C-alpha cells in the first residue's frame, strides 16, 4: 500500500489539465508534477488519497528529449507556470492534443484540431499583472494549489517595469509601516498590486482593505513615477470583502487617470482597471484574426457578439460586417466599448448592457436573426439558456472563442444537439509556459432538408436501463481517477437529470421548499458527463 513520501518508479503516460504528468500505481491515478509523457521517473508521493495520488519527480530514470532546464529560479515553487521544464514545441503539441481530446471525450465529436498557433515570443508577454501581498512583506504569486505567497522579485512572463513597481511598493510599505493583508484574520491593508500595460504606458492600482486614505500617498505616487517613466496613472481599489475576487467595487484615482489606450488589430482601445482585455496582445491579434476568418464575413452580415467586453472582437468584425451588436454584463466595459467604437470611427456597432443569456433571449424575442453569433465566454462557458437562445436565433454560423477546453467541449455538444455541426477547430497559445490554451471553433447550422427523418418507437427503448449501469460511488471514483476532482452525489444527480436519466421522486431533493441547493460547477459537470459516457449511460 503506497504511503506519503514513498518513492516509486513510474512511466508518465500523458499530461493532465494542469500540465502535470499522469501515471497509474496499483489501480490508482497518480498526478506527477514535472513529469513529461514517455519518461520513466522515480516519483516522491506527496499525498495519497483513496483513489488518487499526487507526487513530484524525484529523479529521472529515462528522460524525455522534450525536457529542458528551467530558466526561472522560482519554478516550480511559484504556481504561475507549468511548462518551463519542457521544450516549447512539445508544450504546443501537448496543448493541441488536450483540446482535441476534450472535444472527443466530453464533446462527443471527432473534430481534429488542425493546428495550434504558437507565440513568436514566450517571454514578458503579459499586459496584466496581479501580485498578491502577504505579511513579510511578500509580493509575488501563490504557490501552486495554495494561498501561500512566494516572494518573486522578477517574473519572466511580465514586463520588467512590473518588477520596478513591485520594488517601489515594497519600499513604501517598509518606510510607512503599511501592513500586508492577512487572509485568515481579514486584517492588514495592502491585498494586491494590480498592473496593466499598453505598448507605451502602465497603469498601477493598489487593492486595499480600507476606504481610508493610504499612509504617505504623495510619497507613494512619487516613488511609482520614478520607477516607471511611462506611468499613466495610480489608482486605489477598495476591497473589504472576504473573497478571492481581486478588485473591489470602489475605485479612486490618486494621480493621472485610471485607464490606458492600446492598439489591437489596427484599432485603438481604452482599457479601464476592471475591463476584460486579452493579456497577450500579440497572440490576441492572432486569435481575433482566426475568429474573423471563421465568421466568413462579406460586408453584409448581422453579427451578434456575446460577452463582448470592451468591444475588441465586435469592432474587429464590424470592419467586415454589415452591423454588429455586442452584449456585456459589466457596465464600465459597455461604456468603454461605446467609446472605443466612437474613437475608431465605427458607426455600425451597437452595445447593450446585460447578462448574455438575458440579452440573447431579449434579441430573439425581438425577432433578431443574426447571420453570425460570436461568443467569448469566461472559463465557466455558456449556460444552457444561452445555448438555447443561440439555437432559437438560428444563425448560419457560430464562432466560439474559448479559454477552457472542457467547457468548450460541453457547449459544442449542446450546440451540436441543437443543430450546429462543428466544422473547424484551431488552438491558439495565448499563455506560453502555462497550462492554459485558447481555442476557436466554427459551428455551422445543419441543413435539415438534407437530413433523413427517423421515426422512433419509444416503447421499444429501455429508458431505465442506463440507471443500473453504474452506481454513484463508481461514478465518483471514475471522476476522481481521471480528473482528480471530487464530486458529490447531488452533483451526479443533477447531471443525470439533465440527460434525462430518471431519479427516484425524492432523490436529493431539498428538505424544504425554501432550501437552495449548490449547482454543479462546469468543470465537474464536464467530468461527470464523461463518466456517464464511459459507463454507457448517455
**Residues marked as catalytic:** 403
Q: Which residues is 54 bridged to in the sheet?
A: 31, 47
Reduced to 3 states (helix: H, G, I; strand: E, B; else coil), residue 271 is strand
Reduced to 3 states (helix: H, G, I; strand: E, B; else coil), residue 462 is coil
Tell me the C-alpha distance between 510 and 55, whole Å: 39
The dihedrals phi and psi of 184, each to the nearest 5 degrees, come to: -65, -40
- Bridging pattern class, strands 231-238 and 202-208: parallel
Tell me the C-alpha distance between 11 and 63, whole Å: 10
Tell me the C-alpha distance between 31 and 66, whole Å: 19
Cβ atoms 196, 202 nearer than 8 A: yes
Cβ atoms 209, 181 nearer than 8 A: yes
DSSP string for 447-505 = -GGGS------GGGS-SSGGGGSS-HHHHHHHHHHHH-----HHHHHHHHHHTT-PPPT
Q: Which of 341, 343, 344 is nearest to 352 (CA)?
A: 341
The Cβ of residue 193 has, within 10 Å, a number of other Cβ atoms equal to 22
Residue 300 to residues 317, 324, 346, Cα–Cα distance (Å): 11, 10, 15
Residue 154 to residues 71, 226, 394, 432, Cα–Cα distance (Å): 12, 18, 49, 17
Cβ atoms 17, 406 nearer than 8 A: yes
The dihedrals phi and psi of 313, each to the nearest 5 degrees, come to: -65, -40
Cβ atoms 407, 522 nearer than 8 A: yes
Q: Which of 147, 150, 165, 160 is nearest to 226 (CA)?
A: 165
Cell numbers of 285, please? 491579434
Cell numbers of 62, please? 529515462
524 Cβ neighbours under 8 A, 6+ residues apart: 479, 485, 487, 491
Amino acid at each position: 500500500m503506497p504511503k506519503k513520501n514513498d518513492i516509486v518508479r513510474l512511466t508518465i503516460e500523458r499530461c493532465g489539465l494542469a500540465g502535470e504528468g499522469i501515471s497509474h500505481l496499483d489501480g490508482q491515478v497518480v498526478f506527477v508534477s514535472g513529469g513529461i509523457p514517455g519518461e520513466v521517473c522515480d516519483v516522491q508521493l506527496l499525498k495519497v488519497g483513496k483513489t488518487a495520488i499526487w507526487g513530484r519527480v524525484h529523479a529521472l530514470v529515462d528522460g524525455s528529449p522534450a525536457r529542458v532546464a528551467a530558466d526561472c529560479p522560482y519554478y516550480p515553487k511559484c504556481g504561475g507556470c507549468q511548462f518551463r521544464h519542457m521544450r516549447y514545441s512539445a508544450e504546443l503539441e501537448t496543448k493541441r492534443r488536450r483540446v482535441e481530446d476534450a472535444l472527443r471525450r466530453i464533446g462527443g465529436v471527432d473534430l481534429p484540431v488542425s493546428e495550434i498557433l504558437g507565440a513568436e515570443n514566450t517571454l514578458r508577454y503579459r499586459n496584466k499583472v496581479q501580485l498578491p501581498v502577504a505579511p513579510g512583506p511578500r509580493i509575488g504569486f501563490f504557490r501552486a494549489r495554495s494561498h501561500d505567497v512566494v516572494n518573486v522579485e522578477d517574473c519572466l512572463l511580465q514586463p520588467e517595469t512590473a518588477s520596478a513597481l513591485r520594488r517601489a511598493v515594497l519600499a513604501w510599505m517598509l518606510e510607512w509601516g503599511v501592513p500586508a493583508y492577512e487572509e485568515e484574520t481579514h486584517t492588514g491593508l495592502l491585498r494586491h498590486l494590480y498592473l496593466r500595460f499598453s505598448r507605451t504606458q502602465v497603469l498601477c492600482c493598489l487593492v486595499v482593505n480600507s476606504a481610508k486614505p493610504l499612509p504617505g500617498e504623495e510619497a507613494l505616487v512619487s516613488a511609482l513615477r520614478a520607477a516607471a517613466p511611462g506611468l499613466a496613472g495610480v489608482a486605489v481599489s477598495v476591497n473589504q470583502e472576504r473573497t478571492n475576487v481581486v478588485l473591489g467595487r470602489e475605485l479612486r484615482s490618486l494621480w493621472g487617470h485610471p485607464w490606458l489606450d492600446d492598439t489591437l488589430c489596427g484599432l485603438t482601445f481604452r482599457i479601464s482597471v476592471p475591463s476584460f482585455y486579452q493579456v497577450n496582445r500579440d497572440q490576441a491579434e492572432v486569435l481575433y484574426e482566426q475568429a474573423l476568418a471563421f465568421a466568413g464575413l462579406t460586408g453584409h452580415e448581422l453579427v451578434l457578439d456575446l460577452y463582448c467586453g470592451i468591444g475588441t472582437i465586435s469592432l474587429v468584425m464590424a470592419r467586415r460586417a454589415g452591423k454588429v451588436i455586442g452584449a456585456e454584463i459589466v457596465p464600465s466595459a459597455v461604456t468603454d466599448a461605446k467609446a472605443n467604437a466612437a474613437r475608431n470611427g465605427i458607426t455600425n456597432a451597437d452595445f447593450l448592457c446585460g447578462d448574455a443569456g438575458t440579452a440573447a433571449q431579449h434579441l430573439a424575442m425581438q425577432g433578431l436573426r443574426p447571420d453570425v453569433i460570436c461568443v467569448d465566454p469566461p472559463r465557466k462557458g455558456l449556460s444552457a439558456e444561452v445555448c438555447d437562445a443561440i439555437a432559437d436565433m438560428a444563425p448560419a454560423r457560430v464562432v466560439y472563442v474559448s479559454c477552457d477546453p472542457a467547457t468548450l467541449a460541453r457547449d459544442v455538444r449542446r450546440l451540436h444537439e441543437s443543430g450546429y455541426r462543428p466544422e473547424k477547430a484551431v488552438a491558439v497559445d495565448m499563455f506560453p509556459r502555462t497550462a492554459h490554451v485558447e481555442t476557436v471553433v466554427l459551428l455551422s447550422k445543419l441543413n435539415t432538408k438534407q437530413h433523413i427523418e427517423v421515426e422512433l418507437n419509444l416503447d421499444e427503448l429501455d429508458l431505465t436501463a442506463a440507471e443500473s449501469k453504474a452506481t454513484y460511488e463508481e461514478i465518483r471514483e471514475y471522476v476522481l481517477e481521471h480528473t482528480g476532482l471530487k464530486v458529490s452525489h447531488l452533483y451526479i444527480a443533477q447531471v443525470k437529470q439533465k440527460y434525462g436519466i430518471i431519479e427516484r421522486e425524492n432523490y436529493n431533493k431539498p428538505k424544504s421548499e425554501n432550501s437552495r441547493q449548490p449547482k454543479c460547477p462546469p468543470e465537474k459537470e464536464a467530468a461527470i458527463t464523461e463518466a456517464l459516457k464511459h459507463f454507457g449511460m448517455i
